[in-house]
Amino acid sequence: MKKSYFPKEENEPHYAELFISWLNIGHNFDYIISLNSTQDDPVDAYALSPTQKPKLNFQITIADGGFLAAAGFQHTHRKFKPAIVVDSEVSIPWIKDAIKRKAEKLYPNPQDLILLVGGYAPVASPALIENQLCGKYDDLRFRGIYYVVTPQSEYPSGFVVAIKDAFTDSKFDSKLRAVQTA
């Protein structure tokens, strides 16, 4: 089993909370996040709305390379030479690898999952991630894919980049309209 220097379980609440805050502010939603304590469930966290908006299910992963680079670790990756990653161009493959690892898993209903990829800001800027990754994963069966960075010195509020946006989808919009008109 792969050892992470930044355990996923310790970071999941931070990514989920930042994402829900971003989503609620950006779309005027009222979701509340909860972590799933069931071990073998593909849903790491879920969000419920007091106003009966559709339930959101999240699978959370970490783009390890960004964290390792920021911490100054040397890390051998199967596609890269051992190195301290400091160039923002190099960090994009770490994000792609995190998405690919999750896409290759056989989840029962990936179309019901929103993938949150946690990362570290200094390695890749929001504009770079958006420029190189947005629209490239629309064919994956995940409902949405987001790169989430928690607050740090360069980005005091953190940031979220929609790699595959789940909330411009007409099916989601129609579910919201049905709830709002009911």
Query: What are 128-170's pLDDT values in tens digits?
Result: 888 888 889 888 889 999 999 888 777 888 889 899 999 875 4
- Decide which of 3.40.1540, 1.10.10, 2.40.420, 2.60.40 is the CATH code for 8-181: 3.40.1540
Does the structure show a pLDDT above 50 at 76?
A: no
Question: Packing angle between helix 88-104 and helix 126-133, nearest 10 degrees?
Answer: 50
Tokens of residue 167, six digits: 């909330």
Write down the pLDDT at residue 123: 55
Give the pLDDT score at 80: 42
- What is residue 1's predicted lDDT score, i.e. its pLDDT? 38
**Residue 87 buriedness (CB in 10 A; 0-12 / 13-18 / 19+):** exposed
Assess whether pLDDT exceeds 50 at residue 58: yes
* Domain positions in the chain: 8-181
